[in-house]
Structure 1
Amino acid sequence: MTSPSRETGIAIVPGTACGPIVVMKEPLSFWGGVDASTGVVIDVHHPAHGTSLAGAVVMMPGSRGSCSGSGVLLELALSGRAPAALIFADPEDTLTLGAIVAAEMFGRRIPVMRLSDDAFGRLASAAEAKIAPDAIVADGGRVHIALSAAGHAELRLSPDDRRLLDGAEGRAAQQAMRIVCAMASQQGAAALVDVTRAHVDGCIYAGPANLVFAEKMEELGARVRIPTTMNAISVDHANWRCQGVAPAFGEPAARLADAYVRMGCRASFTCAPYSLPDPPGFGEAIGWSESNAVIFANSVLGARTAKHPDFLDFCIAVTGRAPLAGAFLDEGRLARRAVRVEVPEGVDGSAWPLIGYLTGLASPDRIPLIKGLAKTRPTQDDLKALCAAFGTTSAASMLHIEGITPEAEGLGGNPEDEVVIDSEALAAGWRKLNDGPARVDLVAIGSPHASLEECRAVAERLDGRPLAENLSLIITAGRDVVAVAEAEGTLARLRNSGVGVIPDLCWCSITRPVFPELAKVVLTNSGKYAHYGPGLSGCTVRLGTLDDCIEAAVTGAAPARLPGWLSAATISGRERPRS
C-alpha cells in the first residue's frame, strides 16, 4: 500500500471547505477575467476560459492584472458563487485581501492557502479536496498536506497605530487598521509606513458588494486622513440618466461614487491619476490602487507603492498607513529578469502596448528590466500604454526600462536570466491581438483615460471628417482633461466629427447602452482593453494603431495587418520572400 504524502502548506486565511479541484496553469485576473455574477472565467485569452470556479477548490500560481479582483471575489462571496477555497503556489495579495474583507466584515470565509511547489503539484493531480484549518486531504486520503498558520515576526506598530486598532478614533478607523494589519501580516511586513496620498480603485461598481463595503464604512464613520483621489467610476456621473443607463445600474453606481466623496475622497474619477496636477514625486511613499497607475507611479515617476487591492486602498486612506513590504522596499523593486526587445527601426506609438503586453507574458511573476529601448524616446503616453498592457499579463507592481526609467541603472540590478522578444515574437503578438473581422462598429480610445495630447491627436487626424455611417468613436477621459479640451476647442472639433467624449467612466467599466448596443467588432489602440475587452463586452476587440483607428472611424473598416514598422522588419528579416 502506498503511504500518504505529508507535504506542508500555510493557511493564510484558515477555514473549512470541500469541492472539486480546478487547476489553472496560468495566473488570472478576476476583474475582466471572471464573471462576478456567475463565477465563470470570461478571459478569452486564458486557457481556462469558460470554466466555472463557483464552489471549486481553485489552484493557480497566483493572480495577475487588475486590483479590482478583490471586489469581484467579495461579490462572489456575498452571492454564494465564490470558489470554495483558493490555493496559490506564490505569494498573492489581491484575492487574499478580498477573502480577508469577506471574513472580517461580512462573515463569509473563503479559505486561502499557499503551498510549496511539491505540495502544489501533488494536490493538483487530485480530483477533489477537503480542507480543514490544519490540513488538506485529497485523493482518498493519499494526499495529506498539513497546514500551519502564517508565521511572521511580530508586526511593529506605532502608538498611533495602536490607538486606531484599539478604536480610539472610531469603529471605521479600527476596522480599516485591522484590515491593514491583516494584510501586513500575510505579506511578512515588519512594520507599517506613512503614505502621503491614496488613490481608491474600489469606486468602480463591479456589483452590490462594492457598494455594501463603502456604505458599511460610511455607516461606521469613515473619513480619509490623507489626500485621496478616485479612480474612474462606472457611469458618467452627471449624464448617465440622459444616456439611457438603466436606474437599476446607474443609481447604485452613482451612490458608490457619492459615498466615497462624502468620506472625503476627491471626485477626480480618473484611472490616470499621474496625469493630474501635482503627481507624486520620486521616492514619495503613496497608497495607490489601479494596476496601470501603480505600475506607472513606481516605474516612470519613481514613487513607491505596492499594488494595493481594492478595499485595502481605502483602508490605507483612512489610516494613512500601509504595509511596509513589496515595492516600498529596495529589495521589492529589484529586477529579477531581463527582457531584451529587438525593436525595429521606425517604431511609433503602436509599439508600446504590444511591448508591454509581451513583456508581461515573458515576466508574469517578477519585475523585469526591459532592454533595447534606450534610443526610442517614448512620450508619457507611450509609457502609459506600456505600463497598462504590462499590468494585464503580469502580477509585478513595476518594471524598469534601461536608459529610460529613473531606477533602471540602480535597481535594474543583476537579473537572474534573460528573455528575448524578437521581431517574429512582436509580429505574432500583434497578429494575436489584431485578429478579427475587417468591418468595425466601434473605435475605443482611452484605456487608461486619454490625455489631452491624445484627444488633440484624434482631432487632428480626423480633421473635421465625419464618422462612417453606423460607426461610433468614443473617447473616455478624466473630467479635468475634458474640461481643458472644451476650453481650448478640441472638444468641439471632436464632436463636430461625431466623436463621443465621455468623462468619469473608462472602457473597463463602460456598459450598454453607453457602449453602443449594436456594436460587435471593436478596434482600440489600447493593449489593456484589447485584453480585457472581449470578456467584459462580449465583442471581438482588436488592437490597432492610431492610424488604423482613424481609418476605421471614417471608412468603417480596418483590415487585419501589421503596423508599418513591424511589417518592414519581418520582411527584411526571417520572413523575407525567397527569390
Structure 2
Amino acid sequence: MSDVSLTGRSLVRGSAQGELLYADVGLSFWGGVDPFSGEIIDRHHPLSGQCLAGRLLALPSGRGSCTGSSVLMELLTGDHAPAALIFADQEEILTLGVIIAETLFNSTIPVVCVGPEAFAKLRQRRFARVEDDKICLFDSLPQSRGTSATTRNDAQPVPYSVSLSESDHALLDGHYGKAAQEAMRIVLRMAELQGADQLIDISQAHIDGCIYTGPASLRFAEQLVEWGAQVRVPTTLNSISVDQCRWRAQGIDPAFGEPASALGNAYMAMGAQLSYTCAPYLLDSAPKAGEQIVWAESNAVVYANSVLAARTLKYPDYLDICIALTGRAPFVGTHRDQGRFATLRIDIKPLDTLDDAFWPLLGYHVGLLCGSEIPLLCGLEETAPSRDDLKAFGAAFATTSAAPMFHINQITPEATSESQAFGDLPPSRVLVIEPDDLLASWYELDHAETPQVDLVSLGNPHFSLSECAALAALCSGRRKHPDVAMAVTLGRAVYADASEAGYVTTLERFGAQLINDTCWCMLGEPVVPPTARTIMTNSGKYAHYAPGLVGRQVHFGNLAECVETACSGEASGRLPTWLTAAATRQGAH
C-alpha cells in the first residue's frame, strides 16, 4: 500500500499508474523531447537520455518554447507519450497539448497540479498512481494493479462560468462555423483552467502552430481549414519548418519539406499574412504599448511584453489560432496590470567592457534562476542595451524560464523605477549574480571539445536589419574558410530591406547563405552539413537547443568572434574580457 497520498488540482481528468520520472527542473518539450521516440534530448537537463513513454512525468513546470504543446500532441497520437503529467505549478503549454489531442484525436492522459510542497514529496518514490486529482506514491506498485498505465477519455463538458458576450454565445452556437465553434470551446476550457471570469477582445495574433512537428500538426490545421476556419483579427505567422521557396534546392527530403510547406499554406488559407518570422516585433505591424494581443513563440512573447509593453500571455501553440479564430482571449495573467509586476529581484554585479555576448548569456542565466517568476534586474542602469541586445536577452531568457516577461530597472518601459516594477510591493526573493555565476553558464553554452568549427549559425531569433548591417561590416572584403559553412536566418521583410541596402550582396560574397521563412530550431541536415561536428553561434537560445536538436557540440561567442571563426575554421577559445577575471580566480583555486 502507499504510504503517501496527495491531492492536487486536476487539469485534465483521467487515471494512470506506473513508474515515476521526476525532475526538479522544468522541461521544454520542443527541443527537449523527441516527438517520435519520447527520448528527452535536452542535453542540459537532468533527465537527458531518459524515455518518458509510459511513465508518469513529474516536473515543477514546463519552460521554453510554446511549441511544447505540439510535441506533446504528436506523442499522444503516437506510441511514446507519458502516462500522466504531474506539475508543481499550473502549466498551460503542455496541458493545452493534451486538450487538443483529446478534442480532435480522442487521445488523452491525466494532468494534475499539486503545488510546490507536495511536489517535493514525489522525489523519493519510484511509482505513482493518478486518479483525477488524487496521487498515491509507492516504492513498488501493488501486485494486483501491475505496472502498466491506463487512461480514460471522458472529456469534460465546456464550462460556462466565464462571463460571455452575445457574440461569444453566437460563436459557441456555431453561427460563425464549425471551426470557430470548436475554437471557442477550447478557449473557454483554457479560460476555466486559468481562472478567468471574462474574455477580452484582442487586436492581433501571431501563430506559432505553423511549425511542423509531425503528422498531427498538419492534421490539426487541415481539419480547421476543412471546417472553414478564418481568422477574425490581423494574424502573422511564425517561422515555418522550411524555406518555402528554396527547400528543394537546399536538398530537404520531400517527405519532410512537402508537409512542412503544406502546413504553412494551411494557415495562409485561414487568412494569416505571409510573414514567416519568429521576430514579429520587427514587422511594421508590431503592437503598441498597452495593446492586447495574442502572440505565441516564446521569444516574441517575452519581447512584446517586456520591450514593447504590449500585453500577451505565453500562449501555447494551437490556443493561438483558436483565439485568432474567435478574436477573444481569457483576461488573466499579463493581460492584467497586476499580472505584470515583478516578484523577484536580481542584482547584477557590475562588469566592464561588455560586448554583445553578455546579453544572451545573462538572459540564459536569469531564466534558470527565476522559473515562472517575473524578475526585475538591477545593476544594469548604465549599460544602455540596444533593441538587438534585448532581443538576444529575451530569447535566451525564454529558453530557460517559464515567465512571460522581465523588467530591467530604468531600461524597460514598465520599470522606470523599482516601485513601478514591483507594484509597490516588496520582492518575494532577492538574488545576486556574480561573475563566477555567469562563467558557469558560459561553459554550459560554450562546451565543444575541439576548436574546429564546421558551421556558423546566426539568426536565432531572426536577424534584424541592424544585425545584418553589423554582420556585413564585419564580413566586408573578406571570405570565409572553404571548409566552414555560414548560414543566417531572417524574415522576408528584413531580407528585402537588407538586399536593398546592399548587405545581402556583401554577405553572399563572404560566402554566407541567407535563409528565409524558417529558423535554426527547425533546421537540420542538409542545411546543417552531415559532416559537421561542431557549430559556432552567438545565440544563447540555439546554443542551448542545438545539442539536442541536431546532435552537434557548440561554441558560443559574440558576433565578431563568429565571423573570425568562419574565416579561420577554429574557435579561439578566448573568454570575453568581462569574464576573464572570474576565470582567473577559479584557476587560482
| TM beyond 0.5 | yes
Q: Which residue of 2 aligns with 1:353?
A: 360
Q: Which residue of 2 aligns with 1:98?
A: 97
Q: Which residue of 2 aligns with 1:402?
A: 409
Number of residue pairs aligned between Structure 1 and Structure 2: 569
Is 2:276 the partner of 1:269?
yes
1:555 to 545, 549, 568: 568
Indicate the SS of the match to 1:518: coil
Structure 1 residues 316, 192: closer, same or farther in 2, change over 3 A?
A: same
Q: Which residue of 2 aligns with 1:184?
A: 191
Q: Distance in 1 between matches of 2:24 and 2:447?
A: 25
Is 2:457 the partner of 1:458?
no
Farther-moved stretch of structure 1 (247-256 vs 508-517): 508-517
TM-score by length of 1: 0.95
Residues 12 and 150 of structure 1 are in contact (CA less than 8 Å); yes or no, is this contact kept in structure 2?
A: no
Indicate the SS of the match to 2:212: coil
Which deviations, in whole Å up to 9, do the C-alpha atoms of 1:423-474 show, x marking residues without a partner?
1112222122112221100000000001111112111111221111210010
Residues 179 and 315 of structure 1 are in contact (CA less than 8 Å); yes or no, is this contact kept in structure 2?
A: yes
Q: Distance in 1 between matches of 2:587 and 2:128?
A: 54
Q: Which residue of 1 aligns with 2:257?
A: 250
Is 2:170 the partner of 1:196?
no
The CA RMSD measured in Å over matched residues stands at 2.0
Q: Distance in 1 between matches of 2:114 and 2:393?
A: 32
Q: Which residue of 1 aligns with 2:421?
A: 411
Q: Distance in 1 between matches of 2:102 and 2:2?
A: 36
Q: Distance in 2 between matches of 1:454 and 1:210?
A: 32
Q: Which residue of 1 aligns with 2:146?
A: none
Farther-moved stretch of structure 1 (220-229 vs 238-247): 238-247
Q: Could you list the structure 1 runs, at least 4 aligned residues long, displaced by more than 4 angstroms after superposition.
A: 2-6, 149-153, 568-571, 574-578
Q: Distance in 1 between matches of 2:531 and 2:548?
A: 17
Which deviations, in whole Å up to 9, do the C-alpha atoms of 1:115-154 show, x marking residues without a partner?
1344434444332223333633342689xxxxxx999992
Is 2:442 the partner of 1:435?
no
Structure 1 residues 71, 151: closer, same or farther in 2, change over 3 A?
A: closer
C-alpha deviation, 1:7, in angstroms = 3.2
Letter in 2 for 1:411: A
C-alpha deviation, 1:577, in angstroms = 6.4
Indicate the SS of the match to 1:22: strand
Farther-moved stretch of structure 1 (557-566 vs 364-373): 557-566
Is 2:373 the partner of 1:363?
no
2:232 to 225, 234, 242: 225
Which deviations, in whole Å up to 9, do the C-alpha atoms of 1:522-543 show, x marking residues without a partner?
0000000001111001000221
Q: Distance in 2 between matches of 1:342 and 1:208?
A: 48
Q: Distance in 1 between matches of 2:141 and 2:122?
A: 11
Which deviations, in whole Å up to 9, do the C-alpha atoms of 1:382-415 show, x marking residues without a partner?
0000000001111000000001001113133431
TM-score by length of 2: 0.93
Q: Which residue of 2 aligns with 1:75?
A: 74
Residues 58 and 87 of structure 2 are in contact (CA less than 8 Å); yes or no, is this contact kept in structure 1?
A: yes
Matches within 5 A, 1:516-531: 516-531=529-544
Which deviations, in whole Å up to 9, do the C-alpha atoms of 1:205-242 show, x marking residues without a partner?
11111111100111111100000000001111011111
Letter in 1 for 2:49: G
Residues 467 and 555 of structure 1 are in contact (CA less than 8 Å); yes or no, is this contact kept in structure 2?
A: yes
Structure 1 residues 556, 185: closer, same or farther in 2, change over 3 A?
A: same
C-alpha deviation, 1:90, in angstroms = 0.4
Q: Distance in 1 between matches of 2:244 and 2:404?
A: 30
Farther-moved stretch of structure 1 (558-567 vs 415-424): 558-567
2:578 to 565, 569, 575: 565
Residues 221 and 266 of structure 2 are in contact (CA less than 8 Å); yes or no, is this contact kept in structure 1?
A: yes
Q: Distance in 1 between matches of 2:340 and 2:173?
A: 33
Residues 8 and 116 of structure 1 are in contact (CA less than 8 Å); yes or no, is this contact kept in structure 2?
A: no
Q: Percent identity?
A: 49
Q: Distance in 2 between matches of 1:135 and 1:278?
A: 47
Q: Which residue of 2 aligns with 1:426?
A: 438
Residues 42 and 547 of structure 2 are in contact (CA less than 8 Å); yes or no, is this contact kept in structure 1?
A: yes
Matches within 5 A, 1:81-120: 81-120=80-119
Farther-moved stretch of structure 1 (87-96 vs 425-434): 425-434
Letter in 2 for 1:46: H
